[in-house]
């Protein structure tokens, strides 16, 4: 919620219409080159974490990136 509320007005200024499809958390360990996507947003529900992982894999090609439905 916090990120969407900050980003959405700026995106609208650029002419984009945004809709939040869900949320979660990202745990990033640059030392271990690992990223974990998990959890959900109390306001928006759970995002499709598999989509998030596919986006992250394009930028972090040498990382181990995983996701789960765990809340913590």
- pLDDT at position 1 is 66
Inside any domain, residue 40: yes
The answer to the question of residue 34 being in a domain is: yes
What is the pLDDT, as a whole number, of residue 72?
A: 82
The H or E element containing residue 21 is none
pTM value > 0.85: no
Integer Cα distance of 33 and 21 in angstroms: 27
Residue 55 lies in a domain: yes
Predicted pLDDT at 61? 97
Residue 64's domain comprises: 21-68
- How many distinct structural domains can be found in the chain? 1
Checking phi first, is residue 12 left (phi over 0); if not, alpha (psi -120 to 50) or beta? alpha
CATH of the domain at 53: 3.50.20.20
> Would residue 60 count as lying in a domain?
yes
Backbone phi, psi, residue 43, to 5°: -90, -30
Please indicate, yes or no, if residue 7 is contained in any of the structural domains.
no
Query: Is residue 49 a part of any domain in this protein?
Result: yes
- 54 occurs within a structural domain: yes
Q: CA nearest 49: which of 30, 32, 26, 72? A: 26
pLDDT by position in tens, the chain (length 72): 688 999 999 999 999 999 999 999 999 999 999 999 999 998 899 999 999 999 999 999 999 999 998 888
Identify the residue whose tokens are 């959900």.
Answer: 40
């Amino acid at each position: 919620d916090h990120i969407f509320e900050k980003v959405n007005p700026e995106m609208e200024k650029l002419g984009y219409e945004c809709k939040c499809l869900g949320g979660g958390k990202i745990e990033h360990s640059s030392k271990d080159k690992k990223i974990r996507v998990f959890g959900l947003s109390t306001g928006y529900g759970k995002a499709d974490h598999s989509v998030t992982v596919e986006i992250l894999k394009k930028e972090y090609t040498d990382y181990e990136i995983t996701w789960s439905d765990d809340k913590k």
